[in-house]
Structure 1
Amino acid sequence: MAVTLTGVVLLVGGCTVPGAGEGSEEPTESLGALVDFTDQELEWGDCDSGPSEAECAVYEVPLDYDEPQDERIGIAVKRMPATGDDVIGSLLVNPGGPGGSGFDYVDHAPYIVSDRVRERFDLVGFDPRGVGRSSPITCLSAAELDEFIGAEAESVDGDGDMSELTEAGMARMEESSRGFVEACRTNAPELMLNVGTVNVARDMDVLRALLGDEKLTYLGASYGTHIGAHYADRFPERVRALVLDGAVDPSQDQLDLSVAQATGFETALRAFVEDCLTRGDCPLGGEGDSVADGVAALDAFLTSTAEEPLTNGMDDREINRARAELGVLAALYSESWWERVRQGLDDAMNDGDGTVLLQLGDDLYSRNDPRDYENSTAALIAVNCSDSPSPREVEDYAEAAAEAGEESPIFGPTLAWGALPCAFWPEEAVFSEGPLDGEGAAPIMVVGTTRDSATPYAWAEALAGQLSSGFLVTRDGDGHTGYQMGDACVDRMVDAYLIDLEVPRDGMACA
């Protein structure tokens, strides 16, 4: 999924195989320098987690592809063997983020792909560089990260409105964001310069070569679509089939993405409220109330938490507006979370207990251990800020917050301000080439969901249009991503494409 970190949206060169290089140009990496990487042997062994049939290995890639003879890093990979005998090859998968673990994602194989696909492909996931088991980037301690996530609450006055911060509030936001980047400089000075998605795509091509697949078959969700788009652009001749589900628009910078994402969350919020109002236990209203009434009730509740924080049955963290808002935001990724959020809102609005909302926010940030976080937050910011240039003036983020507030009054300003760390990210770490069109690649499937919260449907339309061979499949529904989300029409088209390379008519919609 395209996790948002207080708003930041989100989400190579095997040169010993035929067709090396970037598109039709000369390869960007030296053949002699990379042969050590593409000639590795994957030593599959038992895994420390997951199903018993899973196999795990580690392979090496250059930290810096411009200096492949220097430092190496390890990439952790997990494979679930195909369940049938007529195996096409490997299907690489990524769950998104940035910061999501592809290594752990494979454990959920029955939910990721259909039984038909599992029969024909070995399912392979890896932790991208900087994530989980693959040289994880760490910037802040758990306590410091708690302060960073709650920084917005200290930057606002009165009702917690982020759309119009005072100069003092903007200064506090700037201090927090600069502090995060400086912590990365201190704790991961070289890694922070080399975690961008262009390098993840290179790492994935090394893995493709090591798996023995002449061409890549790949399923990427949310930010995982960005990895796939980079791969198609850099290695178009090595594309067999790419499914890019819940697309990120690679033509926008991080601030633009944050503002655009506000529209997706607003659409999803209204769908959640509309559903809630049909139920007898909805804390936002009941029969006869409009969606606007329900949204207004939610806004009033969140405003009250800025002045009087909720009680916390977990630990000593203050559950202010920033944390309550994050808990509600979590619900909008999937309909399966709606019931739990209704419970959290009921506890909070009627009893002043914010524990469930806090737990939901923790789930979104991978804070599974009460004393620590996974490193997904650091990876999310580092990758997002490395993937495209962002404005360098704080005032640009203030203007974007006001604009986003018009599209999504509750979540928009927070999303825009969350991109602020990118203003201070080292310029030498930022990828700044042109659009990703994948010229020369085989047909690429982009799946978009009409009421997707984290990756608005317009992004799927944009990516399908930018990719020279892209075609769009539409799921009319709620929640984030479209494949394996209960729509038999979408599932059939994805399966037929992955297995038999069947290409439906562009713009094919499923109701």
Structure 2
Amino acid sequence: MHIRRIARRTPTRPRTRTRTVAAAALLSAATLLVSACSSGNTSTTTAAASAETAQLAALPHSTPSSLAPYYDQKLTWRSCGVPGFQCATMKAPLDYANPGAGDVRLAVARKKATGKAKPLGSLLVNPGGPGGSAVDYLQQYAGIGYPAEVRARYDMVAVDPRGVARSEPVECLNGRQMDAYTETDVTPDDHRETDALVGAYKKFAEACGTHSAQLLRHVSTADSARDMDIARAVLGDQKLNYVGASYGTFLGATYAGLFPDRVGRMVLDGAMDPSLSARQLNLEQTAGFETAFQSFAKDCAKRTGCPLGAKGSTPAEIADNLRTFFLKLDAHPLPTGDADGRKLTESLGTTGVIAAMYDQAEWEQLRDALHAAMTENDGAGLLALSDSYYERDPDGRYSNLMSANAAVNCLDLPPAFTSPEQVEKSLPAFEKASPVFGPNMAWASLNCAYWPVKATGEPHRITAKGAAPIVVVGTTRDPATPYPWARSLASQLSSGRLLTYVGDGHTAYGRGSACIDSAIDTYLLHGTPPANGKRCS
């Protein structure tokens, strides 16, 4: 079951992950959109980003009196148990349309600026998802791994979005149920397997509706963006300074669209395109993973012992061998030595390969895992990659990433498909986008069809007219957020500045390009954005 992955970084080496799109996370509050006529011709990013697409309207500058108690609240900081970090709980209205209906309690963490120079305020960070814990990201990487000069001038701050991790998490399936869900065959060969897949999606959706019924209606990206403005106010900042990765770029862009006059220094790394429908996002992301796989295949073919082909094999030959391997897994899952008796199914094996496409630093691990699976009948390596994708720990417990991911995605946009028949009609397009991953990603795009809460959003453009310069970063061979999305978002934003990383992997900041890092650090520290169109490698 592939859903968008978060961009995650570890303290020792920046690594990125972001969940694949099974239902795009786009703006949910339809009342915030200015409707416009549409020709219906939205087959490409450029067309979808045309002036005919609905646009996000800014909220009134003044804060409604009903929200004053939230904006005026005082945070009580306490030790997090992680040296150097403080934590607090912030309240936000469950329903912005009816603030008196109750609150959500959001987890906030910070690390105070370490330098003696005049502080620049707070710098909020978000790793993406949707469903990634910003607090974990801050404590495990951003708060100790961002450049020392940035950490010296900013209070590094994170807020777990509503429904995520420590912020009243959405709850759906338990660990054993999630095991069964992730093992479900996502490339059905007949009606029986199709029914089983539909049943798995329905069971997941019903569980979310049972355990988090009230919350599911109020976890949209627009809600979380408005929460960020409360955070800005209670932190004492006039402007929001922000670095968002992957889905975090959509969250940041949404904030800019709603509150353009409150944008400070904003970096959107691994950008999403809010003007695309769920089906378009899924299809273009499928092509993005094919691009990443082609890079992996070319690299593998240069190496002696490539498990997918002899040295000098063509990418097409390597792709054929991988598809053959997946077909064998479908018929005969491999043993893994897992304590719970799990075997490596086709679904888990595919997820393991996809997981390694996010960062070329993981290609060696993938080669080793494929070698063990294909020559030694050992699926443990690919299972480990899959477990990391789903955030499953060795004890069989899952984080709530997958639950929150679906909850936000399925609320933010109408489903990509509403029936198996629609998927079947679109299979040729997905297979053309990626012969290796296309069928898997097409069927994974059906997951929101059975969601218990109706989507409230639609594709739209974000212009954020009047906002300070916003740096939009795109990587040319990014699998999860294809480069055209960054071009599109930068062109939509009235103050967008496109910064390009020519390379592999998901997102660019902190991945080893001195050119990218210097451009972003200069902007964060001095407010000077890079020239629009600057390219780095």
> Taking structure 1 as the reference length, what is the TM-score of the superposition?
0.91
1:283 aligns with 2:298: no
Q: What's the offset of the Cα at 1:297?
A: 1.7
1:135 aligns with 2:135: no
- Which of 103-112 and 248-257 deviates more? 103-112
- Quick one: structure 1 residues 344 and 23, their matched pair in 2 at CA, closer, same or farther if it must change by over 3 Å? same
1:1-53: CA deviation from partner (whole Å, max 9, x where unpaired): 26336845679xxxxxxxxxx96653697x221111111111111003x3x11
- Which of 178-187 and 242-251 deviates more? 178-187
Name structure 2 gaps, 5 residues minimum: 1-6, 8-16, 27-55
1:149-182: CA deviation from partner (whole Å, max 9, x where unpaired): 22225x623xxxxxxxx44443333222222222
Q: 1:207 aligns with which of 215, 221, 231?
A: 231
Aligned residue in 2 for 1:14: none
C-alpha contact 2:24 2:413 (8 A) present in aligned 1: no
Aligned residue in 1 for 2:380: 355
1:59 aligns with 2:59: no
- Quick one: structure 1 residues 509 and 433, their matched pair in 2 at CA, closer, same or farther if it must change by over 3 Å? closer
Aligned residue in 2 for 1:189: 213
Determine the C-alpha separation between the residues in 1 that align with 2:402 and 2:459. Answer: 25
1:341-386: CA deviation from partner (whole Å, max 9, x where unpaired): 1111111011110011001101011112432100000111111111
Q: What's the offset of the Cα at 1:185?
A: 1.4
Q: 2:364 aligns with which of 322, 326, 339?
A: 339
Q: State the one-letter code of the partner of 2:174.
A: S
Determine the C-alpha separation between the residues in 1 that align with 2:468 and 2:383. Answer: 45
Aligned runs of 1:75-114 on 2, under 5 Å? 75-86=106-117, 87-107=119-139, 108-109=141-142, 112-114=145-147
Aligned residue in 2 for 1:452: 478
Q: Secondary structure at the match of 1:175?
A: helix
Q: Secondary structure at the match of 1:152?
A: coil
Determine the C-alpha separation between the residues in 1 that align with 2:198 and 2:397. Answer: 25
- Quick one: structure 1 residues 369 and 207, their matched pair in 2 at CA, closer, same or farther if it must change by over 3 Å? farther
- Which of 39-48 and 110-119 deviates more? 110-119
Q: Secondary structure at the match of 1:69?
A: helix
Aligned runs of 1:413-452 on 2, under 5 Å? 413-426=439-452, 428-432=454-458, 434-452=460-478
Q: What's the offset of the Cα at 1:444?
A: 0.7
Q: State the one-letter code of the partner of 2:451.
A: W
1:45 aligns with 2:78: yes
Q: State the one-letter code of the partner of 1:212.
A: G
Determine the C-alpha separation between the residues in 1 that align with 2:62 and 2:201. Answer: 34
Determine the C-alpha separation between the residues in 2 that align with 1:54 and 1:195. Answer: 27
- Quick one: structure 1 residues 79 and 37, their matched pair in 2 at CA, closer, same or farther if it must change by over 3 Å? same
Aligned runs of 1:310-389 on 2, under 5 Å? 310-314=334-338, 315-389=340-414
- Which of 168-177 and 93-102 deviates more? 168-177
C-alpha contact 2:302 2:312 (8 A) present in aligned 1: no
Determine the C-alpha separation between the residues in 1 that align with 2:257 and 2:105. Answer: 24
- Quick one: structure 1 residues 24 and 417, their matched pair in 2 at CA, closer, same or farther if it must change by over 3 Å? closer
Determine the C-alpha separation between the residues in 2 that align with 1:188 and 1:392. Answer: 24
Q: What's the offset of the Cα at 1:283?
A: 1.1
Identity %: 42
1:205-234: CA deviation from partner (whole Å, max 9, x where unpaired): 100101101000000000000100110010
- Quick one: structure 1 residues 79 and 32, their matched pair in 2 at CA, closer, same or farther if it must change by over 3 Å? same
Q: What's the offset of the Cα at 1:481?
A: 0.2
Aligned residue in 2 for 1:34: 67
1:430-488: CA deviation from partner (whole Å, max 9, x where unpaired): 22374222122111110000111111111111111111211100001111101111001
Aligned residue in 2 for 1:3: 18
Aligned residue in 2 for 1:19: none
Aligned pairs, number: 489
Determine the C-alpha separation between the residues in 2 that align with 1:5 and 1:468. Answer: 28
Q: State the one-letter code of the partner of 2:488.
A: A
Q: What's the offset of the Cα at 1:318?
A: 2.7
Q: State the one-letter code of the partner of 2:289.
A: F
Aligned runs of 1:389-400 on 2, under 5 Å? 389-391=414-416, 393-394=418-419, 395-400=421-426
Determine the C-alpha separation between the residues in 1 that align with 2:73 and 2:180. Answer: 43
Q: State the one-letter code of the partner of 1:135.
A: E
C-alpha contact 2:216 2:453 (8 A) present in aligned 1: no
Q: Secondary structure at the match of 2:100?
A: coil
- Quick one: structure 1 residues 466 and 492, their matched pair in 2 at CA, closer, same or farther if it must change by over 3 Å? same
Determine the C-alpha separation between the residues in 1 that align with 2:163 and 2:194. Answer: 30
Determine the C-alpha separation between the residues in 1 that align with 2:330 and 2:58. Answer: 56
C-alpha contact 2:275 2:461 (8 A) present in aligned 1: yes
Name structure 1 gaps, 5 residues minimum: 12-21, 158-165
C-alpha contact 2:93 2:100 (8 A) present in aligned 1: yes
1:508 aligns with 2:529: no
- Which of 415-424 and 391-400 deviates more? 391-400
Q: Secondary structure at the match of 2:162?
A: coil
Determine the C-alpha separation between the residues in 2 that align with 1:140 and 1:279. Answer: 42
Q: State the one-letter code of the partner of 2:313.
A: D
C-alpha contact 2:84 2:111 (8 A) present in aligned 1: yes
Determine the C-alpha separation between the residues in 1 that align with 2:346 and 2:62. Answer: 48
- Quick one: structure 1 residues 56 and 111, their matched pair in 2 at CA, closer, same or farther if it must change by over 3 Å? closer
Q: State the one-letter code of the partner of 2:177.
A: E
- Quick one: structure 1 residues 124 and 145, their matched pair in 2 at CA, closer, same or farther if it must change by over 3 Å? same
C-alpha contact 2:333 2:345 (8 A) present in aligned 1: yes
Q: Secondary structure at the match of 1:266?
A: helix
Aligned residue in 2 for 1:16: none
- Which of 184-193 and 252-261 deviates more? 252-261
Aligned residue in 1 for 2:434: 408
Determine the C-alpha separation between the residues in 2 that align with 1:215 and 1:308. Answer: 56
